[in-house]
Structure 1
Amino acid sequence: MTIPRSSCLLLAGALAFSACNTGTEQQSSTAAADSLHHIVHRYYDDKMQLFPIDATFNGEHQYDGLLHIDISEGFRQRLDSFAGRYLQQLQGVDTSGLSSNDRISYEMLLRELNMTRESLQFHDHLMPIHQFWGLTLTLPQLGSGTSAQPFKTKEDYEKFMQRMKTFAEWADTAIANMRKGMATGYVLPEALVVKVIPQLRDLASNDTGNVFFGPLKTLPAGTDTAFASAYRHTITAYVFPAYAKLQRFLQEEYLPKARSSSGIAGVPDGKAYYNYLIRYWTTTNKTPDEIFDTGQKEVARIRGEMEQIKNSTGFKGDLAAFFQFVRSDPQFRIFKTPAQVLDSFRAIEHKIMPGVKQMYALLPKTSFEVRQTEAFRAASASAEYMQGSADGSRPGVFYVPILDAKKFSYVGMESLFLHEAIPGHHFQISLQQENDSLPRFRRFSWIGAYGEGYALYCEGLGRELGLYTNPYMYFGRLSDEIHRAIRLVVDVGMHAKGWSREQALQYMLENEPLSEDEAVAEIERYMAVPAQALSYKTGELKILELRRRYEQLQGGQFSLKDFHDELLKDGCVPLSVLEEKMKRRFE
């Protein structure tokens, strides 16, 4: 077909305009990306200055001497201004041309800033201490000399000495805040206060076994006795009196004012605060009723499978009797020493690694260790993973609390290792931290619904990895899974439906093989940290939904390695972002 000359001229002009316009769009997209990169880079640096303890755990050691009074009104105002400033900067970013990775960064930072500002409407700083986590427990971890705080040089010791001095100020602020809470009804449940008091008493104890004296055993070569004395004096003059003052205050003043209610609804604005915490921890807009109903359905489903396993063992009796059998029969208590427990976890690692390498294309470089939880926090601690450093100088550690090795059951060990260690938290967190294509605020971020959901999903990989061949070990897996389903019921029950601690305990003991002491520790954890326990099952169900969707969609072309690679490559993301990025990859 012949095109008239005038049309040729029009076409040439249109092409030229198009090329020019495309170039302009590319420049605009590049400028938007550069602007975003600059914002997220500065945001991370500024955030580390605000939260120097986080910086230490992230391997950013320039702030190791700082310890801000982050529960003070002044700090909260500073945090609000900080978040507001970065929100304003984000409004100037044109998101239309951002890459997939940059779009994730934008959405995550926007969510984080909005959630930060919204959190300041509530008053959790008036309850700054509980038995599960917080500075009163983090400081001795750091001060033990075996955690993230470096103790290699004299300067390292001097930095922690400064932190210990500031902790005395933090303790005074905590007491002042708790007095405000006592006056306004913003106080801890009595059951939690009685658990905190002995922790504080032990940490105030001036005996040679106190965890704070640990670094004195490994002083740098050439350190004189005067410096060692100065370090010891800082502990005895600042740290011990601060813990003792907190212990006396909680015992004498606070405990009589503690509340009898179990849920956060028992404090002013508690209902609104719980709804906020659900959105924060689950990254969804699910209502308490929706979560409660999901939990009940999951509990019923898993109980059905438990019945099948019980029957397969030839056990005569109902499920409650089987729970008691698994809890108490000597055949499940095979250890005599803590070392034997730790060695059994290491044996699980060796057994599964060939299969893990078939499921995962990318393995972390960060080394990994299994350790016994320190004595000062073991009584109230759950098994947990503590991430290593991004530069590889500190390994990832799977901590196991062992109060009495002879009472340690082997039944749940395989599923616990898959969750806390490999391929659960150790893989996910290490790969995220090692991924330098992510901005640092994402490399060191944590989103519970994703991170805990993934780790719970990993428990379900056991049979594919050659585990759960013993029916009792698989029953241990089901026990761990129903434990997470029960959390949906009891957490919402206490915090939104008026359940008492005792009602929640009864429901838990009726539906899983825990001892009463174990159930008490769990229920009181949920009382201390509302909604955090909802993240596990919520995230796992989303990941399972996505895996099943793409197994059905791709059939024989489905690659579990590719699925896991895509699942992990962008680090922690909200569940809505996860769904969208998986859709882009597999649909």
Structure 2
Amino acid sequence: MKKLLVPFISLSLIFVTCKNDSTSSATQLPPIDQVFESYYQGSLKLNPLQATSAGDNRYNDQLPIDISEAYIKESSQFLKIYRDSLDLYSDEDLTEEQKLSKAILIWEIEQELKGDEFKTHLMPINQMFSLPLAIGQLGSGSGAQPFETVEDYNNWLKRLEKFTIWCDTALVNMKKGVAEGYVLPKVLIGKVIPQLESLANKDTERNIFFLPIHQIPDSITVEEGQELREKYTQIISEKIVPSLESIVNFLKTDYMEAGRTTSGVSAIPQGEEMYNYLIKYFTTTDMTADEIHQLGLSEVKRISSEMEKIKEEVGFEGDLKSFFDHVRNKAELMPFNDPQQVIENFNSIHEKMKANLEKLFDLTPKTAFEVRRTEAFREASASAQYNPGSLDGTRAGIFYVPIPNVEKYNVFSDEDLFLHEAIPGHHYQISLQQENENLPSFRKTLWYSAYGEGWALYTESLGKELGLYNDPYQYFGMLSAEMHRAIRLVVDTGLHAKGWTREQAIQYSLDNEAEGEASIISEIERYMAIPGQALSYKIGQLKIRELRSRAEESLGDKFDIREFHNKVLESGSLPLNLLEEKIDSWITSKK
């Protein structure tokens, strides 16, 4: 969750001087656009993984110890400088776009500062999103970290050196977490252990961090390649494996013994307050856990009635729960015996919808796109996901698909999944945001889950307009995906605000959706690991759907779906209240 945002010292000094000088005027301040750029450049310097992901290679050898108290203190200090500095700029002196950028940045900083009040650094590792998993993906050579030159290879070695320090810090933090009551549930600890064991493979030639050595490009000489081979062998065997093994041994013994039997975050110190904060952080709204829980229950009821219609259409006799089992186990929906067939199926879905995309979108990204299988070391616990391309568009956006057992891979929701994770979901939204030259740099990589995931879930409803969902099972897949996100509202708040157990949440999901049991278990454990994030999808989708309906009703014949989509996408990721203000202003201008 932590995103370090640090300005350049020169601007910091200007702001401090202006803050202490009551006679200062707006003319003495640096232009606010310069502030935005400084903010972004500083964030890259002290958040180098973000820079690498964006295709900025200046800091490819850097890895901050972002779970150290010194780092967190430094982050908060500079965030406060930025928050205070923005107060010096009057909205009257700004353009509409500058006012929007200022509002976004203030919201961002305030949320990050609030997050610093909680001791999340004492629980630095989980099975879904934590640095070891990101490092494994980067170090495999298939991610954003480049491995094209000797310098690239040496940069990664320096990053790995710092990763061992991060591991040592994580171990210290977890021991402190045990003493203070900040520990993972036992069941999640059990999921982390095999992930780290895989990363700590003692067979160096098969270790994931050795993969780039197997792929050394021809531009690197034999002598240089041999030297790199020796360096990688040494750091893997002498530093990486021992550091990870230390964590694994601790997880298996003292940490597992101290692990929680409870499922929700409310069981840790400040847990209730933390969950309320996470609701706001992930939904960008002021909704309460109770409001979200009730909304989830009503959405589950509504979508269930739509599912009943599909059940009748295909002629299934039996109740809806029996139909879920029918869909989960229908042999015709599990037709593959080779993982490549899954990839090819997604590519064929893309081809099928291409002709209709221009009817809904007249603005499309330049960044390339591809579908890949999720890496083996994280596949068992991973969900399908989208990884953005580089800011300059030279690295493609990638849709990762986990295929742990291809013979059990069910295709009933593949059309829906492609719309969400790929096109026109995350790939369109993120790529267009990154390519938009009218946005200040910090907004090109900004991410609000309610907006980004809300948009992706909204695009799932565009399937019929795009020539998909002709098969009732695929349309049922769309309803199932929407049901899945509605269930999240119920089970996430159930787990973290209402005392639900893991088993209660699993059973509620099994009773109300067609996902397989193994997938449902993985999902519930995901919500346990990252409280609140699962709420963002449905909250964002419902807001975008509400705004579309409002525009259609208000504008009548003047409504253009392509223009509406442009307005939703053109400003990049926004908190939902700012998105609503933007669309309302557009509607007024059109009328």
TM range (shorter): over 0.9
Q: Work out whether 1:60 is the aligned partner of 2:56.
A: yes
Q: Work out whether 1:133 is the aligned partner of 2:129.
A: yes
Within 5 Å, give how 1:62-101 maps onto structure 2. Answer: 62-101=58-97
User: Following TM superposition, by how much is the alpha carbon of 1:252 offset from its aligned partner in structure 2, in angstroms?
Assistant: 1.2
Aligned residue for 2:207? 210
Cα distance in 1 between the residues matched to 2:484 and 2:317: 24
Letter in 2 for 1:252: T
Do the aligned partners of 1:32 and 1:97 also contact (CA within 8 Å) in 2? no
User: Following TM superposition, by how much is the alpha carbon of 1:34 offset from its aligned partner in structure 2, in angstroms?
Assistant: 6.1
Larger radius of gyration: 1
Tell me the secondary structure at the aligned position of residue 96 of structure 1: helix
Letter in 1 for 2:271: G
Aligned residue for 2:265? 264
Cα distance in 2 between the residues matched to 1:477 and 1:116: 34
Do the aligned partners of 1:282 and 1:539 also contact (CA within 8 Å) in 2? yes
User: Following TM superposition, by how much is the alpha carbon of 1:214 offset from its aligned partner in structure 2, in angstroms?
Assistant: 1.1
User: Following TM superposition, by how much is the alpha carbon of 1:97 offset from its aligned partner in structure 2, in angstroms?
Assistant: 3.4
User: Following TM superposition, by how much is the alpha carbon of 1:228 offset from its aligned partner in structure 2, in angstroms?
Assistant: 2.0
Within 5 Å, give how 1:471-510 maps onto structure 2. Answer: 471-510=472-511
Do the aligned partners of 1:482 and 1:512 also contact (CA within 8 Å) in 2? yes
Letter in 2 for 1:183: A
Residue deviations 1:523-547 (CA, integer Å, cap 9, x gap): 0000000000000000000000000
- Calculate the TM-score normalised by the size of structure 2: 0.93
Cα distance in 2 between the residues matched to 1:399 and 1:429: 15
Within 5 Å, give how 1:103-122 maps onto structure 2. Answer: 103-122=99-118
Letter in 2 for 1:340: Q
Query: Residue 161 of structure 2: which of 149, 161, 165 is its match?
Result: 165
Tell me the secondary structure at the aligned position of residue 438 of structure 1: coil
Cα distance in 2 between the residues matched to 1:50 and 1:274: 27
User: Following TM superposition, by how much is the alpha carbon of 1:227 offset from its aligned partner in structure 2, in angstroms?
Assistant: 2.8
205-214 or 388-397, larger mean C-alpha shift: 205-214
Tell me the secondary structure at the aligned position of residue 372 of structure 2: strand
User: Following TM superposition, by how much is the alpha carbon of 1:231 offset from its aligned partner in structure 2, in angstroms?
Assistant: 2.2
User: Following TM superposition, by how much is the alpha carbon of 1:558 offset from its aligned partner in structure 2, in angstroms?
Assistant: 0.8
Letter in 2 for 1:185: G
User: Following TM superposition, by how much is the alpha carbon of 1:32 offset from its aligned partner in structure 2, in angstroms?
Assistant: 9.8
Tell me the secondary structure at the aligned position of residue 104 of structure 2: helix
Cα distance in 1 between the residues matched to 2:47 and 2:438: 23
Tell me the secondary structure at the aligned position of residue 356 of structure 1: helix
Residue deviations 1:366-394 (CA, integer Å, cap 9, x gap): 00000000101100000000000011221
Letter in 1 for 2:538: K
Residue deviations 1:409-439 (CA, integer Å, cap 9, x gap): 1100000000000000000000000112111
Question: Across the two proteins, how many residue pairs are aligned to each other?
Answer: 559
Aligned residue for 1:534? 535
Cα distance in 2 between the residues matched to 1:362 and 1:274: 38
Tell me the secondary structure at the aligned position of residue 390 of structure 1: coil
Cα distance in 1 between the residues matched to 2:584 and 2:424: 23
Cα distance in 1 between the residues matched to 2:352 and 2:391: 26
Aligned residue for 2:389? 388
Letter in 2 for 1:168: T
Cα distance in 2 between the residues matched to 1:295 and 1:227: 54
Cα distance in 2 between the residues matched to 1:32 and 1:193: 54
Identity of counterpart residues, as a percentage? 47
Cα distance in 1 between the residues matched to 2:63 and 2:514: 42
Query: Residue 43 of structure 2: which of 36, 44, 47 is its match?
Result: 47
Within 5 Å, give how 1:252-331 maps onto structure 2. Answer: 252-331=253-332
User: Following TM superposition, by how much is the alpha carbon of 1:33 offset from its aligned partner in structure 2, in angstroms?
Assistant: 10
Tell me the secondary structure at the aligned position of residue 380 of structure 1: coil
Do the aligned partners of 2:123 and 2:183 also contact (CA within 8 Å) in 1? yes
Over the residues paired in the alignment, what is the CA RMSD in angstroms?
A: 1.2
Do the aligned partners of 1:199 and 1:376 also contact (CA within 8 Å) in 2? yes
User: Following TM superposition, by how much is the alpha carbon of 1:49 offset from its aligned partner in structure 2, in angstroms?
Assistant: 1.6
Letter in 2 for 1:377: R
Letter in 2 for 1:253: D
Cα distance in 1 between the residues matched to 2:194 and 2:377: 10
- The runs of 5 or more residues in structure 1 that have no matched partner are 1-27
Residue deviations 1:140-175 (CA, integer Å, cap 9, x gap): 111011110111111111111011111111111101
Cα distance in 2 between the residues matched to 1:238 and 1:285: 46
Cα distance in 1 between the residues matched to 2:192 and 2:243: 14
Q: Work out whether 1:177 is the aligned partner of 2:178.
A: no
Cα distance in 2 between the residues matched to 1:523 and 1:510: 14
Aligned residue for 1:14? none
Cα distance in 1 between the residues matched to 2:326 and 2:28: 62
Do the aligned partners of 2:391 and 2:434 also contact (CA within 8 Å) in 1? yes
Residue deviations 1:254-309 (CA, integer Å, cap 9, x gap): 00000111010010000000000001000000000110010000000000000111
User: Following TM superposition, by how much is the alpha carbon of 1:226 offset from its aligned partner in structure 2, in angstroms?
Assistant: 2.3
User: Post-superposition, which runs of at least 4 consecutive aligned residues in structure 1 deviate over 6 A?
Assistant: none
Aligned residue for 1:22? none
